[in-house]
Structure 1
Amino acid sequence: MNADRQTAILEAARQQFARHGYAGSTIRSIAAEADVDPALVMHYFRTKDALFAATLDQASALIDGVAAALEGPRDGLAERLARAYLGAWEAPQTSLTLLSVARSALSSPVAAQIVRQMLEGRLLARQTTVRPERLNLVGAQLFGIATARYVLRTEPLASMTLDEVVVTIAPALHALLVD
Structure 2
Amino acid sequence: MTTKESPTRRGRGSAAPGVTRDALLTSARDEFARVGYGAATVRAIAAGAGVDPALVMHYFGTKEALFVATLQKAGGVRERIAAAFEGPPDMVPRQLVTAYLDLWEDPETAPTLVSVVRSALTNPVAADAVRHILEVDLIAGAGRRLPPERVNLAGAQLFGVAIARYVLRTDPLATLDRATLTELLADQLGGLLAAPAAR
TM-score normalised per structure 1: 0.91
Which of 1, 6, 24 is the aligned partner of 2:39?
24
8 Å contact from structure 1 (residues 14, 96) kept in 2:
yes
Matched, 1:158 2:174: yes
Per residue, is there more helix in 1 or in 2?
1
* Counterpart code for 1:43: H
Whole-Å separation in 1 of the counterparts to 2:140 and 2:172: 36
CA separation of 1:161/1:103 partners in 2, compared to 1, >3 Å: closer, same or farther? same
* Counterpart code for 2:170: T
In terms of mean alpha carbon deviation, does 24-33 or 4-13 score higher? 24-33
Whole-Å separation in 2 of the counterparts to 1:75 and 1:117: 26
Match of 2:8 in 1: none
Equivalent residues in 2 for 1:162-177 (5 A)?
162-177=178-193
Which of 123, 126, 129 is the aligned partner of 1:111?
126
Whole-Å separation in 2 of the counterparts to 1:161 and 1:99: 20
What is the DSSP-based 3-state SS (H/G/I as helix, E as strand, rest coil) of the residue aligned with 2:65?
Answer: helix
Match of 2:117 in 1: 102
CA separation of 1:153/1:111 partners in 2, compared to 1, >3 Å: closer, same or farther? same
8 Å contact from structure 1 (residues 49, 110) kept in 2:
yes
Unpaired runs of at least 5, structure 1: none
Whole-Å separation in 1 of the counterparts to 2:56 and 2:169: 33
Match of 1:135 in 2: 151
What is the DSSP-based 3-state SS (H/G/I as helix, E as strand, rest coil) of the residue aligned with 2:75?
Answer: helix
TM-score normalised per structure 2: 0.82
Structure 1 or 2, whichever has the larger Rg, is 2
Match of 2:25 in 1: 10
Identity %: 52
Whole-Å separation in 2 of the counterparts to 1:4 and 1:173: 42
What is the DSSP-based 3-state SS (H/G/I as helix, E as strand, rest coil) of the residue aligned with 2:72?
Answer: helix
CA separation of 1:58/1:160 partners in 2, compared to 1, >3 Å: closer, same or farther? farther
* Counterpart code for 1:156: P
In terms of mean alpha carbon deviation, does 121-130 or 94-103 score higher? 121-130
Unpaired runs of at least 5, structure 2: 1-15
- Give the root-mean-square deviation of aligned CA atoms: 1.8
Match of 1:43 in 2: 58
8 Å contact from structure 1 (residues 71, 129) kept in 2:
no
CA separation of 1:165/1:58 partners in 2, compared to 1, >3 Å: closer, same or farther? farther
Q: CA deviation at 1:32?
A: 1.9
8 Å contact from structure 2 (residues 146, 193) kept in 1:
yes
CA separation of 1:140/1:129 partners in 2, compared to 1, >3 Å: closer, same or farther? same
Aligned length: 179
